[in-house]
């Protein structure tokens, strides 16, 4: 199947995220002026994973640029679970910290579920705590995982009202697939969550007006899996060898999504590229969640940031 003429609109998550961070910075400054509360985010990283180091540095820099308090706790990969839990307890008790994020993945000797469960749900700006997952499932206000939240903002900006659309999510993780399903249901979509055991995945994907790829397999979703004109949200961030064989031999890499972008862009109506699509929205939404957590702590209604 030849896919030569790219016709899909590329959804510019980088630009949307930059505008969102500006609006959050303005709202945070107003919160500080009117209520004396400066939103504060603590990010905790354990170990030396190179990609995690970059994400954590970006989070710290973006938070500080937005005028918020930004604390980064860098712990050695020999840190015990007890020490990490003690740090979380102290951050839970710190009134100047409104958001706590523990960067994932954690080293294998630490039980990530126990660590996430120890975060005060009202400071859980990742939205991973079971209390926030429950709030989302029953439609109560709470903190929503950043990547799905950013994806919904891009969908609303692209399509407007999502009511009645068929949405297929490939991937059933607790941090993307499941919360994405809840958010799309709340937008009145008809939602299917597909996974590795789903039968005839290409046909299922072709039924989607909105296709969300969150499976973690480089370029798994091909152009002929996509319904013409569909909107495709690619959540995958996969590092693969450089396309240039000389650079690949030197160990150079590039980032691709879960969707084969060039093929998909010839069929879809709109698509998020990787990089530059959903990824930047993850950090912008972390700031949005930190601002909302600060407002909640101050008993103030937060300003909406939606598209
Ligand atoms: N506690 C958490 N851990 C992790 C999360 C998370 O949401 N909470 N998500 C990912 C990593 N992540 C944020 O932590 C993240 C990944 C990628 C990007 C991003 O902007 N990607 C760029 C490309 C970056 C590059 O070139 O390497 C893009 O897509 O344009 C932001 C955040 C796992 N851990």
> Residue 226's domain is classified under what CATH number?
3.40.50.720
d(C-alpha 56, C-alpha 43), whole Å: 7
Q: pLDDT value at position 43?
A: 98
Q: Is 53 helix (H, G, I), strand (E, B) or coil?
A: helix
Q: How many structural domains comprise the chain?
A: 2
Strand partners, 233: 212
Same domain, 223 and 272: yes
The sign one gets for the Cα dihedral 93, 39, 60, 104 is: positive
Phi first, then psi, for residue 295 (nearest 5°) are -60, -45
Task: Give the integer Cα–Cα distance in Å for 165 and 155.
Answer: 12
Q: If pLDDT is split at 50, 70 and 90, which confidence band does 4 have? A: very low
CATH number of the domain residue 74 falls in: 3.40.50.10860
Residue 248 inside a domain? The answer is yes
Where does the pLDDT of residue 11 fall: very low under 50, low under 70, confident under 90, or very high at 90 and above?
very high
79 lies in the same domain as 177? no
pLDDT at 239 over 80: yes
Ligand 1 atom at shortest distance from the alpha carbon of 14: 30
Taking the C-alpha atoms of residue 202 and residue 135, their distance in angstroms, rounded to an integer, is 33
Predicted TM-score of the model (pTM): 0.96
Residue 127: what are its φ and ψ, rounded to 5°? 70, 25
- Catalytic: which of 122, 126, 209, 258? 126
Coil vs helix vs strand at 172: coil
Over range 152-174, report the average pLDDT.
98
Burial per residue of 187-204, b for 16 or more beta-carbon CB atoms within 10 angstroms, e otherwise: bebbbbbbeeeeeebeeb
pLDDT of 3 reads 44
Residue 216 placed within a domain: yes
Q: How many residues appear in the chain?
A: 307
Domain-embedded: residue 292: no
Answer yes or no: is 7 within a domain.
Answer: no
- Residue 102 scores a pLDDT above 60: yes
Q: Which residue among 59, 123, 178, 227 is the active-site one?
A: 59
Residue for token pair 């126990």? 114
Which pLDDT value is given to residue 307?
57
30 is in an annotated binding site: no
**189: Cα separation from own chain's centroid:** 20
Whether 120 and 149 map to the same domain: the answer is no
Q: How far is the CA of 55 from the centre of ligand 1 (A)?
A: 6
Which residues form the domain of 269? 145-281
81 pLDDT exceeds 60? yes
Q: In this predicted structure, what is the pLDDT of residue 166?
A: 98
Span 270-285, average pLDDT: 98
Whether residue 212 contacts residue 233, with contact meaning beta carbons closer than 8 Å, is answered with yes
pLDDT, position 108: 97
Task: Give the pLDDT score at 55.
Answer: 97
3-state DSSP assignment of residue 78? coil
180 shares its domain with 264: yes
59 counts as catalytic: yes
Same domain assignment for residues 90 and 195: no
3-state helix, strand, coil in the chain (%, to 5): 45, 15, 40
146: number of Cβ within 10 Å:
26
Compute, in angstroms, the gap from residue 148 CA to the centroid of ligand 1.
12
Question: Known catalytic residue: 53?
Answer: no
Percentage above 70 pLDDT, the chain: 98
| Residue 190 pLDDT | 98
Q: Per-residue pLDDT for 214 more than 90? A: yes
- How many percent of the chain have pLDDT more than 90? 96
Domain presence at residue 78: yes
pLDDT in tens, 114-154: 999 999 999 999 999 999 999 999 999 999 999 999 999 99
Residue 101 Cα: closest atom of ligand 1: 1
- Domain co-membership, 87 together with 187: no
Task: Look at residue 153 and tell me if it is in a domain.
Answer: yes
Is the pLDDT reported for residue 50 higher than 50?
A: yes
Residue 306 clears pLDDT 80, i.e. is over it: no
pLDDT band at 21 (very low <50, low <70, confident <90, very high): very high
Q: Which of 103, 122, 178, 227 is catalytic?
A: 103
In a domain, residue 93? The reply is yes
How confident is the model at residue 2, as a pLDDT?
43
Residue 171 backbone class (left: φ over 0; alpha: ψ -120 to 50; beta: rest): left
Considering the domain architecture, whether residues 42 and 161 belong to the same structural domain is answered as no
* Domain presence at residue 197: yes
197 and 267, same structural domain? yes
Query: Does 252 carry a binding-site annotation?
Result: no
Same domain (yes/no): 151, 120: no
Same structural domain, 40 and 118: yes
Q: pLDDT value at position 305?
A: 85
Q: Do residues 247 and 192 both lie within one domain?
A: yes
Position 1 pLDDT exceeds 90: no
Residue 5: pLDDT band by 50, 70, 90 thresholds? low
Residue 33 falls in the annotated catalytic set? no
Which of 72, 90, 124 finishes a domain?
124
Same domain, yes or no: 221 and 152:
yes
Q: Give the mutation target among 20, 55, 62, 110 for probing the ligand 1 site: most ligand atoms within 8 A of CB.
A: 55
């Amino acid at each position: 199947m030849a896919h030569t003429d790219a016709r899909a609109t590329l959804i510019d998550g980088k630009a949307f995220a930059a505008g969102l961070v500006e609006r959050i910075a303005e709202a945070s400054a107003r919160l500080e002026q009117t209520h004396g509360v400066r939103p504060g985010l603590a990010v905790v990283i354990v170990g030396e994973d190179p990609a995690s180091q970059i994400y954590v540095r970006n989070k710290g820099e973006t938070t500080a640029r937005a005028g918020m308090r930004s604390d980064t706790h860098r712990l050695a990969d020999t840190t015990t679970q007890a020490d990490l839990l003690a740090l979380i307890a102290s951050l839970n008790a710190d009134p100047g910290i409104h958001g706590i994020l523990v960067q994932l993945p954690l080293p294998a000797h630490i039980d990530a579920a126990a660590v996430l469960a120890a975060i005060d749900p009202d400071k859980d700006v990742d939205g991973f705590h079971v209390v926030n997952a429950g709030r989302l499932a029953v439609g109560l206000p709470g903190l929503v995982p950043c990547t799905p939240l950013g994806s919904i903002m891009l969908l609303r900006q692209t399509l407007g009202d999502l009511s009645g659309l068929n949405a297929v999510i490939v991937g059933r993780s607790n941090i993307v697939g499941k919360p994405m399903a809840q958010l799309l249901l709340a937008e009145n979509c008809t939602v299917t969550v597909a996974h590795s055991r789903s039968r005839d995945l290409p046909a299922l994907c072709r039924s989607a007006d909105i296709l969300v790829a969150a499976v973690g397999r480089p370029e798994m979703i091909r152009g002929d899996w996509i319904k013409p004109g569909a909107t495709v949200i690619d959540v995958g961030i996969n590092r693969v060898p450089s396309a240039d064989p000389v650079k690949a031999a030197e160990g150079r890499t590039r980032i691709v999504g879960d969707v084969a972008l060039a093929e998909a862009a010839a069929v879809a109506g709109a698509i998020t590229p990787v990089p530059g699509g959903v990824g930047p929205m993850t950090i912008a939404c972390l700031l949005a969640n930190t601002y909302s957590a600060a407002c909640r702590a101050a008993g103030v209604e937060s300003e909406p940031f939606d598209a």
